[in-house]
Chain A
Amino acid sequence: MPNRAVVALKVLVHAACLAPVAWLLYHLAISQLGPDPTATVTFFTGRGTLRLLVLSLAVTPVRKLTPKLAWLIRFRRMLGLYAFFYACLHLMTYLWLYANFDVATMVDDITRRRYIMVGFAAWLLLFPLALTSTKWSIRKLGGKRWQILHRLAYLAAICGVVHYWWIVKPGVHTPFTITAVLALLLAARPALDYVSSRRRRPAMREA
């Protein structure tokens, strides 16, 4: 893909990631977020985080399908950082609208409620990834170590999905789709590695 097309596409991705936030802020300003605005903002930012996180995790497996899609890697950091941005909005929603910045409430929640624990753990896992998202960090850490560190994104996504399941009532299956997509991505990595190793082996024998 030509460089100019990538740049144009990047502008589009920025717009696609920021437009929902603009929509949310606009509807917040005119009080049009439905009967339960607190819940609307909570689900909106939470779902946004999970979707972006899963999208960023999809980049590598999709790219491995064909060399023609190699340019996709240039979008991974952006998607990951937007996922963290939505996670921060989600955390802010909790701190403001649920805990009302009351430390006692926060301590109570974080120590006693497993869905808050695992949700906060997901945010904590994303934090160092956001900090080390620069080219400088990759050089400083070394590619291999940087890669291992950034596998934490998978763990963060798992924590996020568990967080979702733990808050819905029994009988509610809304987290199912995102869980299935994440499971598919987790399975895709070893599956693709296996296929490519099978492809490589005969070539090696010839050499």
Chain B
Amino acid sequence: TKLNTVKSPLSTTGETLTPYNDVTTYNNFYEFGTGKGDPSKNAWRLHTRPWTVSVDGLVKKPKTFDIDTLLKMRPMEERVYRHRCVEAWSMVIPWAGYSLSEFINQCEPLSSAKYVQFLSLDDPKQEPWINEVSLTWPYSEGLRMDEAMHPLTLLTFGLYGEVLPNQDGAPIRLVIPWKYGFKSVKSIVKVRFVDKQPHTAWNDAAPNEYGFYSNVNPNVDHPRWSQKTERRIGEPIWKQRRTTLMFNGYGDEVAKLYTGMDLRKNF
């Protein structure tokens, strides 16, 4: 299904887009299997209608948003972002959506809310692989309030001018371009405003490997591999390897969120 989008000034320029076919067949979405090709084969099981996103926690009053309401809430923008996976591969994707801050304003969080937690759909009937993979379900991710309100943080409904294919996190997901991909939670059903740092799925699984912040940082290695370089998906084999940029190249916009913080400790 087509989405009407307007070009965004926040788009990344000067990058070659990763082909649609690669963006939609090379995925990490463990609810549909752990192989890169598994989600595109298995995600047809996901029903994206009806779909609601419920909001609770430290808000004026809990609300539930229907996906069709969310699609029409703000003008849909096309945002081209670099996407860097913690596994050291990367893509360039034209997403469609609007800033998460627009949605958060509709949620009317209380001033006591310091973090936002996002929960993915947890339904073994549609996602049988949930029973086979040892992660804490539902998939949980979180952001500090200022990170969530940053204009680059995108509430995402589509890519390449179309609604998200199921394997890419349909019908609604986050995209946080300066953080490793696993922070960009897919198929969101619940948003919770809280005063303490929420638990997150990969941090639960291996706290020494996947931190809460998980900002893209070439100077802080993953315990098992280097993060200095990455492999660009869809490039010929001899041109795949490239240097990883601090904050995935979005430092001018986001570095100020972390002034005074030890990024080695808060990895």
Contact = CB atoms under 8 A, between A and B. Distances in A.
Given A39-B231, A114-B224, A171-B135, A97 B237 contact: yes
A39 B226 contact: no
* Most central of A36, A98, A100, A172 by chain B CB within 10 Å: A36
A174 interface: yes
A115 to B, nearest CB: 6
Interface stretch (B22-30, B108-116, B147-155): B22-30
Contacts of A33: 237
Contacts of B240: 36-38, 97
B226 A109 contact: yes
A169 B89 CA distance: 14
Interface residues of B, number: 27
Nearest to A109: B226
Interface string A147-173: 000000000000000000011011111
Contact of A36 (B35, B36, B225): B36
B46 interface: no
Contacts of B26: 34-36
A28 B237 contact: yes
A39 B87 CA distance: 11
B6 interface: no
Contact of A41 (B133, B206, B234, B237): B237
B130 to A, nearest CB: 11
Interface of A: 28, 31, 33-39, 41, 97-98, 100, 105, 108-109, 112-115, 166-167, 169-174
